[in-house]
Structure 1
Amino acid sequence: MVRDINSEEALKLDIPLFVDLRAESEFTEATIPGAVNLPIFNDDERTQVGTTYHQDGPAKARWLALQIVSPKLPELAKQIDYWSRQKAVVLFCWRGGMRSRAISMICDLVGIPAYRLTGGYKAYRKMVRNYLWEQQLDREVIVLHGLTGVGKTEVIEILANHGLAAINLEALASNRGSVFGGIGLPPGPNQKMFESYLAHILWHQARFPYIVVECESRRIGRNTLPTPFIEGMRTGSHILLYDSLENRVQRLIGEYTYQGSPDLDSLSRAITSLKNRLGGEKTTELINYLYQGDLVQVTRELLVNYYDPLYHYPHGPSKEYDLCVSTQDIMAAANRIEDYLNHRYNQ
């Protein structure tokens, strides 16, 4: 009832459920997106078995593992059986070794249908790395450019909601890509999980000949974009978004206050980190505006004195881009880009 399956085959299953049999810390560090954790050993038990293996040899380690796991088997099997009635269960451990083999044998004995991932998480991870780092990107990248606050992320989200191929890279990294990038956001994923999220979206959108992203540097927060992806951005199609300074100011204030009052202390620390660029007097002035509640003045000053000179994007249409779109009406801008994509790719 349990069949071996490789990572590529597993991802093509209808409604797969990846069941990670590794310990909690292994699962927390990195896993297959959407996987659930059903650890055979908890972290302490895994350490005990590992220590016994190195000190007393593999035979004693196996006996200790059996002693630890045996009382858990009925509940483990019951949980897998429950999941198997709803989805295609794919069992995996680190490298397709003892943990997944043992649970597969139990599933076979009691007639639970499931798959076992050949090579485990290690093989899956190798597939992700090869796809993202060793191969040329298999579609054209449509890059949205524009000054800070023109609404690039909003446009990408609208396009994605319309069913087009668009990736919010900053959402994947949980970072807006600047010194203010992580404020108000949860901690970002580690590099392994970031790459897995990116690969899964690309695989899911493989039917499209393009992917729309915002122009980013190689690093977004704590994460690094793969070299072929960066090269695809460089050689792709380029769209400029533009809007008035006042609209950009209001858009940014909304972005940082949509969940309530802004985190003034975090904003103050971010402004202070720009002291070498802004100068001590301007930095103090902005922090005073901040604590006085004048977010409009703070935002306007940061755009005019820091962000706009940093990025050097045009404030209006430019012949250097394949398409230029005003975002004064953000929905109209997204629709204009959607029309452009449909015409360009005859969809």
Structure 2
Amino acid sequence: MYDLETLKTFDLIIDARSPREFKEDHVPGAINLPVVFDDEYAEVGTTHRTDPMRAYQIGVAYSLRNIARHLELPFFRTSKRATILVYCFRGGKRSKLWTDALETIGYKVQRLPTGWKGYRNWVRATLEDVPTKLRFNVLSGPTGCGKTRLLHALRQAGAQILDLEALASHRGSIIGGIPGHPQPSQKYFDTLLLEEISRLDIAKPVWIESESKKIGQVQLPTSLFEAMHHSRLFSVHTSMAERVLMWHREYPHFGKDPVALVEKLSYLKSLVGGTTVAKWKELAERGDIDALFESIMVDHYDPAYTRSTNKNYGKLGEITAIHLDTLDSSYLAGVAAKLILDDDMLPAPALR
């Protein structure tokens, strides 16, 4: 049952948990039809501490009313004998209430074994296993060098990619948050990651960016993090002028408010020194955005990235250098096509 292809065979997947639980994580393709809503769930829980029987009475009353309203949705207004999967936290009372109602109507219903909790355990176990079977090509390079743009060009050229920053809704580092796009919870990031990995062909290489263990507030599975560090490394090099332009594209909000950028980086004072932070502040206050972006890269991000690369990839053998003259999309398309062709001609690396 804990298989994404099997889950796709159902006409409808109902998550019977509260909206708060659903928002934190849910089975791909599920819709939230709560047996009890957040405030109702809290009321039942509070009552259960002193009067369990009364709590169940309140919960069942809410459940019957909520299920009755859900059954007015368009999906249930047909005579189709649909197959439906229902789950709650552990596959207990909430999913049973839904299952009993649906079976009475005549639907073919299954309950997810041990509910979302069982699904979550399966996700975690699978994420520790599947990455070890994949062959990665890792794009490395300092901030702003165009790794993400090259990764997308590789996808357009037909390569398999795994865009971790897109899944995490974050570009990495302390300033990598994307305005208006909050990060998923750790649990939902894992779900999204497994869904994406499940689409990959293990017989073909997967292009991926080098990332830290954490991307913003979410963390990579250990197996994936370690697999990246035993893979082919492609070191991307781009001129500083192009990198500054990339910063303008990637961080337009900091171009509009450079003082806020420096405030976010003020914690680096112990690493880069007070003189450097003072220089950043001066550049920000006078609006010299290009010089500010360049200094932040040269004085902090480039040395930090070099240290991280040497630590995590220092034991690798040959590293392929990629020199990008520009980050123009048509140019990157040509680079991507050549990378795919060259990689196809290389022998497959030995299994770890």
The TM-score normalised by the length of structure 1 is 0.85
Unaligned runs of 5+ in 1: 1-5
1:227 paired to 2:195: no
Unaligned runs of 5+ in 2: 311-315, 326-330
8 Å CA contact retained: 1:176, 1:182 = yes
| Secondary structure of the structure 1 residue equivalent to 2:111 | strand
Matched letter for residue 121 of structure 1: W
Give the % identical residues: 28
Which residue of structure 2 aligns with residue 202 of structure 1? 197
Worse-superposed segment, 31-40 or 225-234: 31-40
**Contact 1:184/1:263 (CA < 8 Å) preserved in 2?**
no
C-alpha spacing 1:216/1:185, structure 2 compared with 1 (3 Å): farther
Matched residues in 2 for 1:285 and 1:15: separation?
A: 59
CA deviation profile, 1:276-306 (whole Å, cap 9, x unmatched): 2332232222222223332211111122222
Aligned partner (choices 319, 326, 329) of residue 323 of structure 2: 326
CA distance, structure 2, for counterparts of residue 267 and residue 83 of structure 1: 55
334 and 21 in structure 1: CA distance in 2 versus 1, 3 angstrom threshold:
same
SS at match of 2:223: helix
> For 1:18, what is the secondary structure of its paired residue?
strand
Residues 214-273 of structure 1 show CA distances to partners (whole Å, capped at 9, x for unaligned) of 11121221122111111211111111211112111211222112x795343431212322
Alpha-carbon distance between aligned partners in 2 of 1:208 and 1:142, rounded to the nearest angstrom = 13
Q: How far off its partner does 1:124 sit?
A: 0.7
Partners of 1:12 and 1:340 lie apart in 2 by 38
1:301 is matched with 295
Alpha-carbon distance between aligned partners in 1 of 2:210 and 2:4, rounded to the nearest angstrom: 33
Contact 1:141-1:210 within 8 A present in 2 as well: yes
Q: Which residue of 184, 208, 219 corresponds with 2:179?
A: 184
Aligned-partner Cα distance in 2 for 1:87–1:253: 51
Residue in structure 2 matching 1:22, options 17, 23, 37: 17
Aligned match of 2:280: 286
Aligned residue among 171, 174, 193 for 2:169: 174
- Would you say the 8 A contact 1:174–1:185 is kept in 2? no
- Which whole-Å CA distance do the structure 2 matches of 1:106 and 1:51 have between them? 26
Which residue is 1:243 aligned to? 238
The aligned amino acid for 1:288 is E
Shift of 1:84: 10
Relative to structure 2, which stretch is displaced further, 289-298 or 214-223?
289-298
Q: Secondary structure at the match of 1:235?
A: coil
Residue in 1 that maps onto 2:155: 160
1:148 equivalent in alignment to 2:143: yes
Report the counterpart of residue 93 of structure 1 in structure 2: 88
Paired letter, 2:30: A
Partner of 1:269: 263
Q: 1:264 to 1:42 in 2, by over 3 A?
A: same
RMSD: 3.0
Task: Give the aligned partner of residue 126 of structure 2.
Answer: 131
CA distance in 1, matches of 2:129, 2:303: 36
Residue type of the partner of 2:266?
A: T
Q: In structure 1, the residue corresponding to 2:166 is in which secondary structure?
A: helix
Cα distance in 1 for residues equivalent to 2:232 and 2:82: 40
How many matched pairs? 335
> Letter of the aligned partner of 2:161 in structure 1?
A
- CA–CA separation in structure 2 for the residues paired with 1:85 and 1:293: 64
Instruction: Indicate whether 1:46 and 2:48 are aligned.
Output: no
Contact 1:144 1:240 in 2 (8 A): yes
Q: In 2, are the aligned partners of 1:150 and 1:243 still within 8 Å (CA)? A: yes
SS in 2 for 1:147: coil
Q: Which moved more, 1:262-271 or 1:124-133?
A: 262-271
Q: Which residue of structure 2 aligns with residue 337 of structure 1?
A: 339
* Amino acid in the other structure paired with 1:310: A
Q: CA deviation at 1:117?
A: 1.9
- The worse-fitting range, judged by mean Cα deviation, of 265-274 and 39-48 is 265-274
Alpha-carbon separation, structure 2, partners of 1:260 and 1:305: 18
- Tell me the CA shift for residue 161 of structure 1: 4.1
Counterpart code for 2:61? Q
Local SS of the residue matching 1:241: strand
Measured against aligned partners, the alpha-carbon deviations of 1:157-207 in whole angstroms (never above 9, x if no partner) come to 233344532112122222222122225362212221121111111112245
Shift in alpha-carbon separation, 1:322–1:12, aligned structure 2, 3 A: farther
